[in-house]
Amino acid sequence: MRKSSPMSTDMSTLLELQMQLRRAVLGGDAAAIVAAIHGDGLDPAARVGIYRNHAFATLGASLQGTFPVICRLVEKRFFAYVAHEYLREHPPHSRCLVEYGADFANFLADFEPSKALPYLADVARFEWALNIAASMRDTAPLPPRALAEVPANEAAYVAFRLQPSLSYLTSPWPIDAIWQANQENEVSPVDLASGGARLEIRRADDGVAWRRLDAASFAFRTALADGLVLAAAMAGATLQDPAFDVTAAVQHLFAEELVVAFCLSSERLI
């Protein structure tokens, strides 16, 4: 049997120790790491607790900063509980905290204790989109004449790259109205039966802006944002509205400074 070198033994010990501290910091069993540390006049578990408290306090605050309306809708104590469970199961992968919380909405959707609020996950998606719009810088838009160089018979195969701050969201709930109502001190009631929303969220001037789109425009722009070619986006839009005017729709995209690049798709699949 091969003996492992002293180095690899020690490194695996260090790895084991770090996995033990990770488990304890994320709210799991702390017995193993507690046995490895000095009391120095205190209960060693209290020392580990300082690191656990810091992780939950700072990562919880990061989530609360990104999802303030969710926090308001469920109230602070419940939010702290949800955040705690989310952190345990989904600690950050990225070391840039601005990227933490991208899957929080999905977590909420499956979170049994909050199922009484069926719109919660979609409001979280809206807040995430607002967060992206607020933080991501806009790229210089293409002028409308940029498409002039595309031969007419190729135009159907153009794919666009849109502003990085853009998001498209659809929900069966009036999530924008719910969000808006929760910006006030006194929350006025929102009629949940008033129907859903198809939303476009983007950076605008020095803040964020969103608006509701009709079904055809939403289908068109979502398809383009997903990288589909113009012909495919048009097909989707026409299903919603047979009178959909694709020329005007493209002009609007440019006029609203949403297009930052385009390419001719080599695959030409519709």
Partner 1 sequence: MTAHRSIPGGSGGVGLRPPHFAEIAATRPKLGFLEVHAENYMAETVALDRLLELRRDYEVSLHGVALSLGSAEQLDRSHLGRFKTLIGRVEPVLVSEHLAWSAIGGAYLNDLLPFPYTEESLGLFCRHVEEAQEALGRRLLIENPSSYLRYHHSSMPEAEFLTEVARRTGCGILCDVNNIYVSARNFGFDPIAYLDALPIRVIGEIHLAGHHAAEDVDILIDDHGSRVAKPVWDLHAAALRRFGPVPTLIEWDTNLPALEILLDEARHAQELADVHRYVDTA
Site residues (vs partner 1, CB under 8 A): 6-7, 10-12, 14-15, 17-19, 21-22, 25-26, 36-38, 40-42, 44, 46-48, 50-51, 54-55, 58-59, 62, 91-99, 134-137, 164, 203
* CB of residue 8 to partner 1, shortest distance in Å: 10
Tokens describing residue 179: 């969000």
Please say which residue, 155 or 260, places its beta carbon nearer to partner 1. Answer: 260
Inter-residue contact 130 to 83 (CB < 8 Å): no
Please say which residue, 67 or 218, places its beta carbon nearer to partner 1. Answer: 67
* CB of residue 146 to partner 1, shortest distance in Å: 21
- Give the C-alpha separation, 13 to 19, whole Å: 10
Closest alpha carbon to 98 in 127, 63, 144, 68: 63
Residue at 9: amino acid letter:
T
* CB of residue 140 to partner 1, shortest distance in Å: 12
- Give the C-alpha separation, 67 to 195, whole Å: 23
- Give the C-alpha separation, 164 to 225, whole Å: 10
Please say which residue, 13 or 106, places its beta carbon nearer to partner 1. Answer: 13
- Which residue's entry shows tokens 């949403």? 258
Classify strands 158-162 and 259-264 as parallel, antiparallel or unpaired.
antiparallel
* CB of residue 199 to partner 1, shortest distance in Å: 21
* CB of residue 131 to partner 1, shortest distance in Å: 11
* CB of residue 64 to partner 1, shortest distance in Å: 14
Inter-residue contact 179 to 135 (CB < 8 Å): no
- Give the C-alpha separation, 150 to 160, whole Å: 13
Please say which residue, 65 or 172, places its beta carbon nearer to partner 1. Answer: 65
